[in-house]
Amino acid sequence: MKRTTERRKKGTMGLLAGASLLMSGCGAAMAGTPVLPAEALDSETDAVRADNFHDTNTAQAERVLGETRLRTDDFVWKERTPIVKVAHIKGEFSFDQDVLTPDDEIFNLYGTVMTGVCATPGFAMEEEAGNYYVNVGGRIEKAYRVNVAELGEEKSESRILKCSCGMTAGGLSNARVTGVPLGAVLEMAQLEETINCVTVYGADGYGVPMPLTYALEKEALLVYQINGKPLPSQEGGAVQLWMPEAVARYFTRNITHIELTAEAKEPPVLQAGEGCRAKINILNYADGVEFKAGETIRLEGYADDYDVAIEAVEFSLDGGETWTVCPTDGAQTDRWVYWQFAFTLEEPGEYEMTVRARTAQGMESPLASTLCFRVADSAR
C-alpha cells in the first residue's frame, strides 16, 4: 500500500499504482477517504493564466530534511481489525517554508525517478567542469553568448524556491538556488516589441515556449548552483531554468541556448493537471508504523499548489468525517509549505490519518495523503 511517504522509492510505478491503491484504504475496510481516481493524474494541460504573484523572500534559518524517513514497504494489516476513529483530532500544528530537500533527492526525484513519466531519459553522464555558457539568439540583431556563472559574480540572486511537477502528485522539492535573472541576461539583447515568446533549450533539444512577459514577471532564474553546489555539466550544459510558481516542465536542464521569437499568438502558460493541485504528502513515516499509547506522534510533510497559496492543512482521523483545520497564515507561493502536526493517542489500535490541503481558491486536495499506523499498548 503506497502512501506518499518516502520519495526515493516512489518510482514511476509507485506514483501511478499509488493513486489507485489509495482508493482501497489501508487494507482494512475504510470508507469515506476523499481520494481521487487514477485518471486525475493527467498531464500538464495547456491553459492561459494571467497571474502574477509577488512575494517576499525572507532569509530564515534553513533546515535540510534529515534521514528520518523510513522505507516504504508494501503494507497490509496482518489482521483486519476495525480502525479506531477519532473525531476532531487535536494536535499542535506548525509550518516552515524554508526546510530544504536534501540535494541528492532533488535530482533523484526528477532526473531519475521521474524520467519515465515526464522527462527525457537521462544518460549516464560523466561530470566535467560546469559549462555555464548560454547562447541567446532568435529575432534579435545580434546573437550573443553569456557565461552565467561569471555573470553571477555581479548579478547573482540566491533564494529558496520549490520545483513542483505538474504531472504527478509527488514530485516536489524545495531548494536554495543561486542564479542570474533571465531578465539580466536578456538586457543585452535589443528586444523588438514584436518579441513575445522565449524558449529555453536544453542540450537534449528540450524547450517549452513561454510568454516573454510571464518569464520576466515571474523572475525566472538561470540557476548554476543548487543548495550551494555547482550544477554539473550534463550533455554539455550545466545551467537550469527555475520558474517560480510554475510547473516543473518549464525547468529546462542543461541549458544550451535561449531563443526569442515573435509568435502570431503568445504561447499559453502551462498549468498543472487537476490531480496534482493542492498536493499534499506525509513524508516522515510509512504505512504500518507503530507508536506507543501516550507517545507524541509527529507527522510532517509538504503542501503546495503552484501559484496559489495554501491556506490550511487539514487532518482527519475518522476517514474524512471530521477535519481539524490548521491555517497556514502568510504562506507564500514561491516555496512549499512544510508542515508538522503532533498529537497523542491513548487507545491502542489501528488508525488512519488523512491529510489534505486547502488553497486560497478554496480547493481541497483532490488526492489526499494517508498514513495507516498502529498504536500499541504502552505497557507492552
Residues binding Mo ion (CB under 5 A):
118, 165, 167, 248-249
Interaction partner, residue 111 (Mo ion, ligand MTE, none; CB < 5-8 Å by kind):
ligand MTE
Contact yes or no for 250/219 (Cβ under 8 A): no
The terminus-to-terminus CA distance of the chain in angstroms comes to 27
Interaction partner, residue 204 (ligand MTE, Mo ion, none; CB < 5-8 Å by kind):
ligand MTE
The minimum distance between CB 104 and ligand MTE, in angstroms, equals 12
- In this structure, what are the phi and psi dihedrals at residue 72, rounded to the nearest 5 degrees? -100, 110
- In this structure, what are the phi and psi dihedrals at residue 68, rounded to the nearest 5 degrees? -85, -10
The minimum distance between CB 167 and Mo ion, in angstroms, equals 5
Interaction partner, residue 94 (Mo ion, ligand MTE, none; CB < 5-8 Å by kind):
none
Residues facing residue 135 across a β-bridge: 145, 257
Q: Which is nearer to ligand MTE, 126 or 329 (CB)?
A: 126
In angstroms, the CA 355 to CA 254 distance is: 36
The minimum distance between CB 370 and ligand MTE, in angstroms, equals 25
Q: From 114, 11, 105, 14, select the one nearest 66 (Cα to Cα).
A: 105
Binding site for ligand MTE (CB under 6 A): 106-107, 110-111, 114, 118-120, 163, 165, 202, 204, 206, 240, 248-249, 251-254
Interaction partner, residue 253 (ligand MTE, Mo ion, none; CB < 5-8 Å by kind):
ligand MTE
Task: For residue 130, give the C-alpha cell.
Answer: 560546469
The minimum distance between CB 205 and ligand MTE, in angstroms, equals 8
The minimum distance between CB 249 and Mo ion, in angstroms, equals 5
Interaction partner, residue 202 (ligand MTE, Mo ion, none; CB < 5-8 Å by kind):
ligand MTE
Residue 169 CA neighbour count, 13 Å, CB half = 34
Q: What is the CA radius of gyration of the chain?
A: 22
Which amino acid would we find at residue 126? Answer: E
Q: Which is nearer to ligand MTE, 237 or 320 (CB)?
A: 237
